Every structure is written in C-alpha cells, then in structure tokens.
A and B are shown apart, each in its own frame.
Chain A
Amino acid sequence: MRETEATREAAQVRRNWLLSLPALLLLAAGAIGPLFIMLIYSFLTPGKYGNVEWIFSLDAWRGILFTRDIFDETLKLADAHLTIFWRSVRLSFLTTVFTFVVGFPTAWFIATRPPRWRAFWLFLITIPFWTNLLIRTFAINQIIRNEGFLNTFLIKIGVISEPLNLLYTDLAVFLGMTYVYLPLMVLPLYAAIERFDHRLLEAGYDLYASRLAVLRRIIFPTVKPGIIAGSILVFIPSLGAYVTPRILGGGRNMMIGNFIDLQFGQGRNWPLGASLSVMLLVVVTAALLIYVRFANRDRGHG
C-alpha cells in the first residue's frame, strides 16, 4: 500500500513539473537568454557602426582594464576606466553608509510609533516611488544647480556670495543616490527593528550598559539581518546606477552604468559594453553570495 502511495506521489510530482514547464521555459529564456547573448558578444569583435562582427576576440575583456597604445600597440592600464570603477565603488559605498546613518534613526522612529501610526509613516516613506525616477532626479538637478533653489536661498540669506558649484560633481551624484535609495535602506531596517524585542534595551541598561553600548552590543547585532539586507539593496543598484550619475554627474562624472551605455552608443564598442556588463553581474552576484553566507551564519547554529 505504501508503494502505491509512493508511485502516486511521484506521478503527481511529474505532472506538476510538466504543467509548469511552459512557464519555466519562458522564464529561463527571458532571464538567461539576454545574459547568454551578452556573454557571447563579449568575446566578439566590435563592428564599424556599432553591432558586432563574428570574429572571436579577447580584446573586450582585456579592454576592461587595459588600453592599447595608439602608436606602439603596447598594453597600458586604462586609468580612465579605473577612475570610473573606483568612483562607482566609492560612491556606492558612501551612499550605503550614508543611507544607513540617515535610515537607521528613521526606521527606529517609525518602528517605535504606536502600531496604527506606523502604516502612515511607512506610507510617507514610499511616496517618492509614485513619481518617475527621472523626474525626481531632474527635480534635484533644479534644486542644486547654480541658479537653483538652494543657491538662490543661500545667497538671499547671505550665507554665501557665490553660488556653490554642486551640480555635475561626485557630491551631487552621492546626494542624488542617497535620496533615491534611502527607502530601500529604511524598509528592511524597519522590518528588523519592528521585530526587535524592546525589553532587551532594559535588560542591557540593567546590566550596566551605557546607551552607546546598548546600541553597539545589543541593537546592532540583533537587527543585523536588516542592516545587511538594506546595505545590499542600496549598494547593488548604486553600483549599476545610470540615471542619477547621468543627470547629476553630467558627462564627466560617469559611473559604470554610464560607461556601459557609452560603449553601446557613441563608443561603438558593443563587446566592451558586454564584458563590462558581465563583470558587473559577477561582482553583484559575489556580493549577494556573501550576503547569503552572512545571513545564514546569523540565523545558524551555536
């Protein structure tokens, strides 16, 4: 009797797989297909007017870090590329840290309101999502440009006499990304803090921990999964950010996203764009894997 039950169960499993096969195929094609094309393109030769020529080449991969000298054809480190990578990593890191510094008190504030008010505060946090990212970024552009609201105001009240040159600087990109990605930090932090048992605070104070010690030794370790999730959610899209550095950084302060875009546009070097994209994907995947390791260890055994 057990055997028939087992076979029936196996048949059921088979049927389930068959039934979901079309959806799975579609998902696989949609998700893996473009990546696969990207991977292949990264090993080809750039065409004259964009596009690719089907000649195998490792130039695109070499081109991530090196440029060929125009005259003697020797390979040199591509300083411009490194600057862009470094700016991307640095700005993404700063954005992550700053969204945490601003987001943690915000999330703490929301999570410690009476339950019926929490939904309201969370709702306020999500309001920016109602407007297109492009429009919001242009709004920041309007605020911080030389004749913009911020400079006009500061000059009017006499704090400065010359407008601050904010637009098209790394600072502008950093401010813009902090603004854009802040909710992505606040929401997972909120989720973690809401589950935090506030009696642990009293236990900490009772055991001679100062406020700072309670924050460092009790609150942060307990809400760590939220901190990690928020950091990943901010860092990864920051690394690939396109719109914000484009509008607030101008042409000069490029990040990886803009650099990739450049290869498919003016640069007419699709293979390089493809190899850069794959590289970005690998970096992001590595970051995610580290996250999963962290999160598992946190929940894990003793």
Chain B
Amino acid sequence: MGSDDGFIEIIDVTKAFGPADRRVYALGGVAATIRRGEFFTLLGPSGCGKTTLLRLIAGFELPTSGEIRLDGQEIGHLPPFRRPVNTVFQNYALFPHMTVAQNIGFGLEMLGKPKADIAATVERMLALVKMTDLAGRRTDQLSGGQQQRVALARALAPQPKVLLLDEPLSALDLKLRKEMQVELKRIQLETGITFIFVTHDQEEALTMSDRIAVMSGGKILQIGTPREIYAHPTNRFVADFIGETNFIRARVQGGKAIVGGEVEVPLPAAPAQGEVTLAIRPEHLRLVAKGTAGALTATVGDAVYFGTDSHVHLTLGDGTGIVVRQQTDPDGREGPAPGSVLGVSFPPAAVQVLED
C-alpha cells in the first residue's frame, strides 16, 4: 500500500486521554499524507491537537486507533527509540551535563556508531548550524538562539528520515525568529530531510512551508500549499485563522449569490438555493464612490493607519462589519471621513464560498 509520494501516511489516527468513561479526544480521526523531502507544517491555535499529532509521530504517545506509516512501514506502536525520527523540542531539552559536541553526538553514540564517525558527523553538524567555535561549551552558557541551533544539530546528527519541530522558534525574539526561519529553510534544503513543523504562527507557516495542514479541535480542516490555503480556504475557520477575512452572508438564487439584495456575484459552484457565507480578503476590497455598479453600500466607521496601508472599518446595510485594506496614497491624503457612505467593490474572483 501507499502511493509513490506518500512518505508518511497518517491513517485515521485518533488519540484519547483520560479514563474510559470520561474520554477526551485530542485527535478525532486525522488523515494526512506527507511527501518525501517536504516542509510540512501543522498549523493551528493552541489545543488544536497539532502537538499531539507530532508526539504520536515521534512516539511519545501511542495512537488510540489508526496507523502511522513511514516509508511503507507501520511505526505507530514503536517506542521513540526505535523510530528513525528525531525531534527539536519547544524548549530544546538540551542535556545540561554535556557539552555542545556531546549533545550533538548523543544520538549517534546511542546508535552505537564508531567514535571516529561520531566525531566527523558532529563536526559536520556544527558547521551546518554555524556553531563550530562553541563545540566545547556547556549548554547553559549559550543564548537562546545558540541553544536552538544545538537542538537542531542534535536532532539532525543521526540523519533521521523525518525531523519533527515542535514550535521551535516560539521562545526566540522576533529578529532572531526571522533569522532562524531562513536558517531552518536553508538547512532543510541542504539536508533534504522531511520536516514536520508545528506552529501557531500563521506567518511562519506561510513563509516556510511547502504544504500546510490547518488544524482545529483535533481535526485537520484543510491541507494545501500556502497559496491554496490563503487564496482558497474551504471553511470559515481556515479563512479566519489564516490572515484576515471579511465574512458576508449571501442568498443564492439561480447560481448567483445576492448580497444585501443589491449586488449579484456569479458563483462557480454553489447550491441552487439557500444561504452561504462569502469570504473576501480585506486587500481585495476597494473603496469607490457610492452607487457604483456592483459595489456594496457601506458606512465608514474608523480607520487605523499602519504606514504602508490603513484598515478602514465599515458597516454594511445589514449591520455586518467589514474591513478594507487601503494602500496609503503617495500624496499622503487622509482616508475617508467617518460617517460617510461609500461603495465597496471587489473582483468576483476574490470571493470564496465557504462550507459552514
């Protein structure tokens, strides 16, 4: 079994905690296929089950049901030390009684590799994460960023088939985090190892991943490339969690959605009848003169100025609040005055119809 690009297959995995009569499902039936050499991100708010899924792949937890396959082999029930998988922990979990080099060599040592091989690999890993000068340091003498690099080198040294990263950048400050994002991506490309990356930071996910699985409430809601996820969210949670989105209710009639009884939007695939939610990104909305054809009528609330753009909050006729992201004028003109009534237009392609 297993398709040619299915390197890691997660098949209907559930994970429940607690006694039989009061079971709490951290994962309720999750399925995903991860390709070889991919940078795959599990993205979701805290408590969504992303870390649980990662721990199941690492072997720190065993699935309640379902299978986890790696390269065609079922690994879901193996202890962590029998899986060709290594983890970069959220708080690094470096061994405090060992030097940087000893930390990095530990996995190889446990695998029973010859001393010379270990020394050579440690050397290579130190170079890879640019820590060669600090090989003899104790880990408590390192900065957060340096510890991060050691943790990464330690997990990469045994050359795992899959590297798991549990929010590895969350403890770093913004500047360092940006730096490490670039570093991680470089290292992933250099080593060719499959990365599974857990984060709650959507920007991090969008910039680094080949594909993203958006999770919520113990389920995977959507899997796709960053572009697919951002441009074509399939449900309200994904649309809301990734970037900002305006949700507008519409009535469907004859293959078209009618918003506020005034504007018709052609829909490619929609139910023939009934109500739907449309999602439109703030940057796809445009403020136009009141009464322009195809534009919704809205009343301007307040505007928040961000420098490169400003967010104008408006209210539609039915009371729905929307946000328009407006690029700052080169001549520094003020935005629309609060209370004024304007039109809001958008290209039909910007509209996403959501499953509720």
Q: Which residues in A have some Cβ–Cβ distance to B below 8 Å?
A: 197, 199-200, 202-210, 213, 217-218, 221-222, 224, 298, 301-302
Contacts and interface: CB of A to CB of B under 8 A. Distances in A.
B158 interface: yes
Given A202-B60, A202-B80, A302-B141, A207 B154 contact: yes
B97 A208 contact: no
B111 interface: yes
Contacts of A209: 81, 106, 110
Contacts of A301: 138
Contacts of B138: 301-302
A206 B81 contact: yes
Interface string B77-121: 001110001110101011111010000001100110000000000
B141 A205 contact: no
A199 B106 contact: no
B58 interface: yes
Given A207-B154, A208-B107, A221 B97 contact: yes
B192 interface: no
8 contacts: A197-B96, A200-B95, A202-B87, A203-B95, A206-B59, A206-B81, A224-B97, A298-B97
A65 B155 CA distance: 59
B124 interface: no
Contacts of A302: 99, 136-138, 141
A19 to B, nearest CB: 39
Interface in B121-157: 136-138, 141, 154-155
A205 B93 contact: no
Contacts of A218: 95
Given A203-B94, A203-B95, A222-B97, 16 more contacts: A199-B93, A200-B96, A202-B60, A203-B89, A205-B80, A206-B60, A207-B81, A207-B107, A207-B155, A207-B158, A210-B110, A218-B95, A222-B95, A222-B96, A298-B97, A301-B138
Interface of B: 58-60, 79-81, 85-87, 89, 91, 93-97, 99, 106-107, 110-111, 136-138, 141, 154-155, 158
B107 A202 contact: no
Contacts, number: 68
Contacts of B158: 207-208
A191 B207 CA distance: 45
Contacts of B59: 205-206
Contacts of B137: 302
A302 B97 CA distance: 10
B241 to A, nearest CB: 28
A206 B91 CA distance: 15
A197 B90 CA distance: 13
- The 6 tightest CB contacts between A and B, nearest first, are A207-B107, A302-B138, A203-B93, A208-B110, A205-B80, A199-B93
A206 B95 contact: no
A206 B97 contact: no
B47 to A, nearest CB: 19
B88 to A, nearest CB: 10
B110 A213 contact: yes
Contacts of A213: 110
Contact of B86 (A207, A221, A222, A298): A207
Nearest to A208: B110
A208 B81 contact: yes
A222 B99 CA distance: 13
Contacts of A200: 93, 95-96
A205 B80 CA distance: 6
A236 to B, nearest CB: 26
B172 to A, nearest CB: 18
A224 B107 CA distance: 22
B81 A210 contact: yes
A206 B87 contact: yes
A208 B111 contact: yes
Contacts of B107: 207-208
Contact of A205 (B79, B91, B111, B154): B79
Contacts of A202: 58, 60, 80, 87, 89, 93
B110 A207 contact: yes
A206 B58 CA distance: 7
Contacts of B111: 208
A200 B92 CA distance: 9
Nearest to B84: A208
Contacts of A203: 87, 89, 93-95
A142 to B, nearest CB: 44
A202 B81 CA distance: 10
A215 B58 CA distance: 20
Nearest to A200: B93
Contact of A199 (B89, B99, B110): B89
B80 A206 contact: yes
A218 to B, nearest CB: 6
Contact of B81 (A199, A205, A222): A205
A203 B58 CA distance: 10
Given A197-B93, A222-B96, A302-B99, A207 B136 contact: no
B83 to A, nearest CB: 8
Nearest to B151: A203
Nearest to A213: B110
A208 B137 CA distance: 23
Nearest to A207: B107
Nearest to B86: A206
Nearest to B90: A199
A205 B85 CA distance: 11
A200 B87 CA distance: 12
Nearest to B164: A206
Nearest to B55: A202
Nearest to B137: A302
Nearest to B104: A207
A210 B60 CA distance: 13
